[in-house]
Structure 1
């Protein structure tokens, strides 16, 4: 019989492999993920006693899931390349630069607010697949686009796809009201609504600083000065953008439920932010910030999708240029509404496998429901309303397929690895699944600081599974039980779990593979992950601090010390940015 500490070490092996080779040694994901797969499959077979047929079924399920992810990227690239070919992208670029030429302002408007709307409408990686290539089209370096899209994945993730991580992730993870461990004194939908409101309240406070993180890291890694200071000089507008999303986001979660915080927060927040940018309110006084000229870019910033030279010009109106994206966003939103028939119609276009290899594992590819289909339909609409030749769509499809084919090597291994890792609890040895073994090991050794560990375990689940929803499914009941045993408020701990899981998306392996593919940066996944570790750490610790405050109130503990430390560092940085700005004038 293998001891619990040894089981935890064995379960930790794939995470160590990824950390050492992908992040530490910067190996490309296509080389690292096969090693991670082996480091999961061998213990699953020999220690967890997962039968060969079940391992094969889990791997096939992972392959199908990976194909779905690749299809999302393909559709987003087809749409972008179609708009590039027919001249609409040059008009879209002008519409953003007409608001502001300052790249820091563009990040807040395009990614933080418009991106929140897209995440709420679709989720499942579609935001990065749309915004990443769009950033390339308006002149961002591919590495900057990928990094920013990964950092974005925080507050909006918890309510992506019309609240799926809450309505499905937490609800299913907690037994949908059918488990004796979780019997709230209210109707189950109302209980999940209240949990969603707590999740949103925590996010609303922590996420206010994320736009500032994005612009500061952008200027640090991709500016002439290679300094945080130009980004910090945009602090007023960045914080204004953070507040404009977080306030309607939190209020929507409280009063309307988990379906619409991103959608309404993004839509409502865009109005004052765009108005302020046009009026010049809250803008830095340094005259604007841009990347160095393309000829001076570090070769590590560039990838296969960098748009060299001028984009094809067009005289079409901004309304016509934007129409395909607007239609895409509306259809995505409507397709996620349970009360409308569109979702049912799209789900009919589903390929199902039945039970695989005599096991109880089955898989399905929901081609109609995946955002990739809606992206492709939007590309067809673009050809029609822009009066483009059908050859435009053919060229866009060929270009997009070449990029996705390059990404497939890593992703077609990464997702099966995740499926085996999560499904290891079905082995004949009767052991808990590997993620639960790891969680229990943390609980046994670190129960006294559980609010922090709840956030960390949520992030660990998303890092492994690539999804806030799956992390909530795996760990929410575990978190609830640990809190109950430890005398903590289980609702607070489950909410912290969900916030930590959202932060884990910043460093999730198959999300970064997807982001890399969308901007043509295959093989650079380790570089991107290294750049997102700082904001991910801030967010995970912030969720833990919120858990302390909600559990213990104000006092001399981590919940109060951490925000004080963050504020001190922020004030120090802003003062340094102000001094440097004054000396340069």
Structure 2
């Protein structure tokens, strides 16, 4: 039996929108006013969505349950699989003590507070967002800056603001993966569109950060370094997002801007070393001298990670892995059981690509990294167990949010909301980032915001004749500037900066900057929709590509063999260096 979606169940669009808004308004109320935990709010909102979908929209109860299950399963794989392995790799680095070397090294490059903010809050924070995400970058970088002697409010505030540039590509690009799955637009064009929006913000952000810290004049004093940091980051972000996909822009841009600024500082120094007036004493030692071998070993998990994720993105390797380990099936009872408003049956397929999934690449990187950083596999297993315990509530939240999003989309609730948003007509692209901003403000996650609103953005854009990739990408780009004022992010930054109980001060510090950046993104998106259409990439929707001949997987296996040789050689060199060099740093005389 096939059920057809309903857009206006009351034949009164105002009343239909009012009812359709209830689950989303509940999330606002639960998180902002009631201060409910994310997983609790998501589960209750899912229940509300089910009731409205069945009682108001006439969706069969069986289909509503299956739709929620489909979303929850997708939340577990590949999303939670990727997040778990990424955080696992990061935790291995921390457990082994190698992350302390990375922290000390980052802090020792310069004594100027302005340059330290660029290196740690902006570049290093981006790198961490790309590998771990979920609050880790702000927590780590804010704690590092406080340890160096930064004013706690400034340390936490600028780390929140700096975190805007990388959020869209966080946790190996998972926000874009979710937006792709929910909207039906392939990952690459979304990545390309975001990669043609955020670099504009990224190139301005270093100067903006330094101006907040030290004022306009003091920011001008280090303009050469600011330009090196911003331009290198923006270029690498643009290049990787457009040509490599959504997995590595943060990792590549973060590391690249660190390297470029380090090289530049060998030849250029500011005339004066700027510090805060009456700043607290530093607690991180900055006069340590590490050997190249120690630094390479400390960074080895992330070096291996970068190699693995790039390799997993190569099409012949993907084809080979999928030929050996992938199961795709129609979701039972749901596939082609719902008819869209245009009369087409909605396919509901689940792809279990357990070998070619990015999470598997990260797991392999973590397994290779365990002996490189000096841990045993028994210790690694303990770290993995601790990681699962650490993420149990985020995993539950993500599964619930995806179930919620799938019910909204399959029942037609998002189409009802899109009907009203379409009434903004020509100006909708201007407001599209605002929806993403609100979503991240409420959920604390660009991933969750994309799960909630990507289909709505797609439907609304279609209804007004704008390419949907513009507005779906706008949801992501707008969301990044909502992160700095999200209650969850504020709480993380306050804890890291010893500001517990002063969250309202931190919120007031960041909120105006969030509005300023949101307005800039809204203008950029409006221009992309109408005046700069040449920036929009060409693409085909998922599932519309014509069948092609089966790929020749022998090339992929050859590449995998070469990858194994490369990783083995790298591992041998790192382990050999580790045996020769002392495990503790030498102090500079």
TM over 0.5: yes
Contact 1:66 1:411 in 2 (8 A): yes
Contact 1:118 1:126 in 2 (8 A): yes
* 1:12 equivalenced with 2:7 (yes/no): no
Runs of 5+ unmatched residues, structure 2: 1-8, 285-289, 337-347, 533-589
Give the alignment partner of residue 324 of structure 1, picking from 301, 316, 319.
301
Over 3 Å counting, the alpha-carbon distance change for 1:112 and 1:471 in structure 2 is farther
Over 3 Å counting, the alpha-carbon distance change for 1:419 and 1:19 in structure 2 is same
Over 3 Å counting, the alpha-carbon distance change for 1:333 and 1:318 in structure 2 is same
The equivalences for 1:184-583 within 5 A come to 200-211=195-206, 229-230=213-214, 236=223, 240-247=228-235, 249-250=237-238, 268-277=256-265, 281=269, 285-287=273-275, 317-338=294-315, 340-342=316-318, 344-345=320-321, 349-350=325-326, 354-357=330-333, 360=336, 361-425=348-412, 434-444=413-423, 446-447=424-425, 449-457=427-435, 466=448, 474-476=456-458, 478-482=460-464, 484=465, 490=466, 495=470, 498-505=473-480, 507=482, 534-548=512-526
Contact 2:156 2:494 in 1 (8 A): yes
Give the alignment partner of residue 23 of structure 1, picking from 32, 37, 42.
32
* 1:152 equivalenced with 2:163 (yes/no): yes
CA distance in 1, matches of 2:479, 2:36: 21
| Aligned equivalent of 2:75 | 66
CA distance in 1, matches of 2:469, 2:273: 43
Provide the secondary structure at the position in 1 that maps to 2:275: coil
* 1:384-413 Cα distance to aligned partner (Å, 9 max, x none): 224433342133223222212243443342
Structure 1 residue 138 displacement after superposition: 5.0
Over 3 Å counting, the alpha-carbon distance change for 1:265 and 1:323 in structure 2 is closer
The equivalences for 1:67-106 within 5 A come to 67-68=76-77, 69-100=79-110, 105=115
* 1:452-474 Cα distance to aligned partner (Å, 9 max, x none): 22433565677797365985565
Structure 1 residue 327 displacement after superposition: 0.4
Provide the secondary structure at the position in 2 that maps to 1:341: helix
Provide the secondary structure at the position in 1 that maps to 2:198: helix
Contact 1:78 1:379 in 2 (8 A): yes
Structure 1 residue 352 displacement after superposition: 5.8
CA distance in 2, matches of 1:513, 1:334: 34
| Aligned equivalent of 1:36 | 45
CA distance in 2, matches of 1:346, 1:551: 36
Provide the secondary structure at the position in 2 that maps to 1:466: helix
CA distance in 2, matches of 1:415, 1:32: 13
CA distance in 2, matches of 1:514, 1:365: 32
Structure 1 residue 326 displacement after superposition: 0.4
Length-normalised TM-score, structure 1: 0.65
CA distance in 1, matches of 2:435, 2:280: 40
Over 3 Å counting, the alpha-carbon distance change for 1:516 and 1:455 in structure 2 is same
Structure 1 residue 348 displacement after superposition: 5.0
Structure 1 residue 39 displacement after superposition: 2.9
CA distance in 1, matches of 2:472, 2:278: 38
CA distance in 2, matches of 1:44, 1:171: 18
Over 3 Å counting, the alpha-carbon distance change for 1:208 and 1:387 in structure 2 is closer
